[in-house]
Amino acid sequence: MLTLEGEYVIHLAKTTKLVRLKDNVLGSAGLLLFFFIAISLINKNGFGSITNAICTIFVLLLFSLFSYICICIIYHSYFPKDNPIRIGGEGIVDDRGILYPWNKIEYAHFRAITKSCYLQIYYKNADNQSLHYEINLKEYDFDERKIAGAIEYWSGRDIGDYEDYLKDDYVKQQVEEGKITEEQSKVLDEKLSLYTPYFQKKQKEYKMYIIWLLPILVIVYFISKYLCDVNTPLDMYKWFSIIKFLSLRSGFLVLYVFCLGLVGDYKTKKLRRNPDLKDLSEKELDHLLDVHEMKESSLAIKILLILTAIWLFFVIYTILVDYGVLS
């Protein structure tokens, strides 16, 4: 659990010391550069003729414009505009300055969607209606774990992770379907909460395979790129040539994703046999795997296997032609 002395504040990225220093250096360097260029051009052209006078005035106007831009950059490096998000004892203050008290907040968590990251707040308004507001954190300097820790620390509840939201929704659904009672739901909630950190850790391990398998992506990319330029006797058939080209061009990515899928499936099957998870039922385990995006995908693996086999066929065939084994 994160220990805080005061509220946790999420500042805009442009207010960080490193960004401000970079802007200050760039603005100052730009101002000096434009000054020397302007002085050099004025000394060279002077005001000897109408043409030179017009050119000199134009240079001075450009210098004024660029100087204004550089001065603005330098000024904002000293006095940056901030639009902070605050998580403290009273609740969450969003990017518009609106306070969401803890007694009105149902959930508040960080969530990455495609290429953007959001702080999602689920709350009840004055009419007791459930509403949802999300803050785009694209321009903010933040730490995902600190956001979750601050929310749970100040709220005193287990609501700081997206997994908590999905867990409660799952438990609620089990009760509504009559599969468990209200008393059993409390036990199930505690059990899933207990295992969530373990699965979060495993999810991070799974994501590391994306980096560990990168050498395969690079090697296969260069092999496929080289073989694309090899002409074969069957290239006389247009359909064959198109399939060969598409297969070799996309083969490196197909093989990479296939390897990721194989490793992920192997690790998940191994996880299912882990004696430390014996207290979880098959359905509960499936829920945790699904929430943390670690569930097996047999159909996808089969499709990728077929595509990989096609790529491998073209690789072997093209290599044999290139070395003169087939003609």
Mean pLDDT by 10 residues, the chain (327 residues): 64 89 90 80 65 72 85 89 91 91 92 84 89 91 90 89 88 89 88 87 88 90 87 87 89 91 90 88 90 86 92 91 80
Q: For residue 100, list its beta bridge partners.
A: 92
266 membership: H or E segment, kind and range = helix 238-272
The confidence score (pLDDT) of residue 150 equals 92
The confidence score (pLDDT) of residue 46 equals 59
With CA atoms as reference, report the closest residue to 80 among 39, 23, 37. 23
What are the start-end ranges of the H helices in 156-181? 162-176
Task: Give the pTM.
Answer: 0.66
The confidence score (pLDDT) of residue 231 equals 87
The confidence score (pLDDT) of residue 48 equals 58
Contact 170, 286 (CB under 8 A): no
Residue 276 DSSP label: G
130 membership: H or E segment, kind and range = strand 130-136
Residue 103 DSSP label: T
The confidence score (pLDDT) of residue 257 equals 92
Structure tokens at 42: 């004025």
Identify the three-state secondary structure at position 158: coil
